[in-house]
Amino acid sequence: MPSQQSIVAPAGYVPQFAISFGEGEAIGVSRDRPLPIQSRTRVAESVVERVAREGSQATNTYFKGDNSGTSYSVGQALGVYTPPPGRSTWIEAITICSTRDVTIWIQRLDAQLNANAAGPALQAVMVGPTFGATTVVPVNGFLREGESLSYVLRTAVPQNAGADFSFFCGMQGRLVSNDFFHEAPRTMLVLGDSISTTTIGGGNAYGGDFFHAHLATSLRSEGKDIRRIVKGDGGWRARHGATAMRRGSLNVGELDLLLVMLGTNDTSISEFTDNLAALVQWKKNQYPATPMVLLAPAPRLDAAEATYLVPLRAAADGLVTQLADPLVHLVDCGNAFAANSANLPDNVHPSAAAHVAIANHVRSALLANGVWQAL
């Protein structure tokens, strides 16, 4: 075992990075127990730094095509991007390429809030060989939930089997929770797959319909103001969460509650439990005083329920029982709501009503084990 070394901050010294030690505060550090990033006070940081710490890589952000099989008319959208529910996208830059000289409007609009048919915010760019191989438009701004970013062609292009028009429109960005814009004395980290991050069954949903948004609202109604950091993406398995942990992207600063809902997409019991155990160990090292709640996955209506999810839930229960850690809790969401087509319109993703049921189920469990009261 490596020897432990004690780090003590000299009186009056404030480190010039995102960790702040109180005067005389000592923290044991070793290779097996890395420096905790939990700080006593929130430190000043730029928007870019905070986006890097709290955000996740935005995906499905590019569009491409050519005119080999179709023509393009003036006003036709080459692609439209919208952030997933409950998230905002920090756009670093937009890149547009074209093999033909054309004009494209970069159009930004929130159609649901455009009550008076006002024109959208837009920026016209000319792209093509005459203007350079690639047109880069710096943005460094947010696209909020409900807003769309469209690439609207303003030059007619006829069909040509030889494809004399090929285009690419894309952007670099990171997704943050809508709570990015909310300051609170408490922080909740939510780690999950599409059920927690991108998709609510039945459509026409808002970010406030996710189960963790309901939990945050309930805590705030009791005077326990909290903000959420949401990590993960559709299709994630437990190994993706563990990989994100090993790369440091779960080190978010001060943390008061950790919710992990993974397993919906897992197909290996051993891989699931191994990676879940790794996440638990990380929590114990980095956030030793923070409660961790493992949410065994919600039900599905397809064959994966009996084949994978039932044994996965049992494995998660066995892991938590074996750990016997008073700060690591299991809440089985497999019985949070009735498994029917109304609650699971696409067989996998809970509806908005089912998310309310999940929130109530989790809240009741956290009240029973005392986690809720301690926040």
Say if residue 39's pLDDT is above 60.
no
Q: Packing angle between helix 310-323 and helix 269-286, nearest 10 degrees?
A: 40
307 pLDDT band, cuts 50/70/90, is very high
Residue predicted with more confidence, 90 or 112: 90
Q: Which of 183, 179, 186 is CA-nearest to residue 207? A: 179
Count other C-beta atoms under 10 Å from residue 297's C-beta: 25
> What is the distance between the alpha carbons of residues 261 and 359, in angstroms, rounded to a whole number?
12
Q: Decide: helix, strand or coil at residue 92.
A: strand
pLDDT of residue 32: 39
Torsion angle of alpha carbons 29, 316, 269, 238, nearest 10°?
Answer: -50
pLDDT of residue 43: 55
> What is the distance between the alpha carbons of residues 375 and 373, in angstroms, rounded to a whole number?
6
Where exactly does CATH 2.60.120 map onto the chain? Answer: 59-176
pLDDT of residue 111: 85
Q: Decide: helix, strand or coil at residue 252.
A: coil
Judge contact between 189 and 54, C-beta under 8 A.
no
Beta strands in 48-163 (DSSP E): 56-57, 62-66, 77-81, 87-98, 102-109, 121-127, 135-143, 148-153
CA distances from 221 to 119, 182, 216, 226 (A): 38, 15, 9, 10
pLDDT of residue 121: 82
Which CATH superfamily, name and number, covers 182-374?
SGNH hydrolase (3.40.50.1110)
pLDDT of residue 301: 97
Mean pLDDT, to the nearest integer, of 45-50?
A: 88
Say what percent of the chain tops pLDDT 70. 88
> What is the distance between the alpha carbons of residues 9 and 17, in angstroms, rounded to a whole number?
14
Say if residue 177's pLDDT is above 50.
yes
Torsion angle of alpha carbons 191, 372, 86, 253, nearest 10°?
Answer: -60
Count other C-beta atoms under 10 Å from residue 3's C-beta: 6
CATH number for the segment(s) 59-176: 2.60.120
Judge contact between 107 and 122, C-beta under 8 A.
yes
DSSP state of 297: P
Radius of gyration of the chain from Cα atoms? 24
Q: Which of 215, 282, 273 is CA-nearest to residue 250? A: 282
Mean pLDDT, to the nearest integer, of 260-270?
A: 97
- CB-count burial class (<10 Å; 0-12, 13-18, 19+) for 111: exposed
Where exactly does CATH 3.40.50.1110 map onto the chain? Answer: 182-374
Q: Decide: helix, strand or coil at residue 315.
A: helix
Count other C-beta atoms under 10 Å from residue 16's C-beta: 7
Q: Which of 126, 153, 145 is CA-nearest to residue 137? A: 126
In the numeric block, the tokens 């460094």 are attached to 140
Phi, psi of 310 (to 5 degrees): -60, -50
Mean pLDDT, to the nearest integer, of 308-336?
A: 96
In the numeric block, the tokens 């019985």 are attached to 335
Q: Which of 31-35, 111-115, 160-164, 291-295 has the lowest mean pLDDT?
A: 31-35
Q: What is the largest CA-CA distance in the chain?
A: 74
The mean of the pLDDT values for the chain is 88
Helix (H) or strand (E) holding 214: helix 211-221
Say if residue 16's pLDDT is above 70.
no
